[in-house]
Amino acid sequence: MDKEKAEKPECPDEKDTKIEELKNQLLRLMADFDNFKKRAAAEKEEIAFFSNEALIIALLPIMDNFERAMDHASSCNKEKVSEEFFKGFALIKKQLEDVLLKIGVCPIDCAGKPFDPNFHEAVITKAVEGLEDGTVAEEMQKGYTFRGKLIRPSMVIVSKNP
């Protein structure tokens, strides 16, 4: 009776078929796992790539204020602003600009360029002699991209002829 209860040996064709099925399953699992690893690595790289975006967005108003202060200081009476203070302030601004450029933050060049709603935010339209319709006449606030991604559009005045 014990011999009857023992499993019957499978025929060689059934064994080979089963082995092939298991090999195919294993290959598919290995491929799925490899794809998972690649997706996870790509996601990790993207997260690391853009992880500083919030910090950069928080720094942009500081950069704006540097520019406003520089514009104001250059238009002030020289007696109110010492030359050394002005130069030091300019060096700090330049250092901040260099750091932002180094990590991939680029200002959007827009003055005199055609208006592009993907990069510019039109605040005002006005007639400007010498400029075609739809050309950026003036930049009110600088826009920036971070590693090719828009993080803040430029606020601009767009020319519109009557």
Instruction: Check if the beta carbon of residue 153 is closer than 8 Å to that of residue 143.
Output: yes
Q: What is the mean pLDDT of residues 148-162?
A: 90
Span 127-142, pLDDT tens digits? 888 888 899 999 999 9
Span 54-74, pLDDT tens digits? 888 888 998 888 888 888 777
Q: Which residues contact 32 (CB under 8 A, 6 or more apart)?
A: none
Strands 105-107 and 144-146: antiparallel
DSSP of 95-110: HHHHHHHHTTEEEPP-
Instruction: Check if the beta carbon of residue 134 is closer than 8 Å to that of residue 159.
Output: yes
How much is the pTM? Answer: 0.64
Span 75-121, pLDDT tens digits? 776 666 677 777 888 888 899 999 999 988 999 998 889 999 999 99
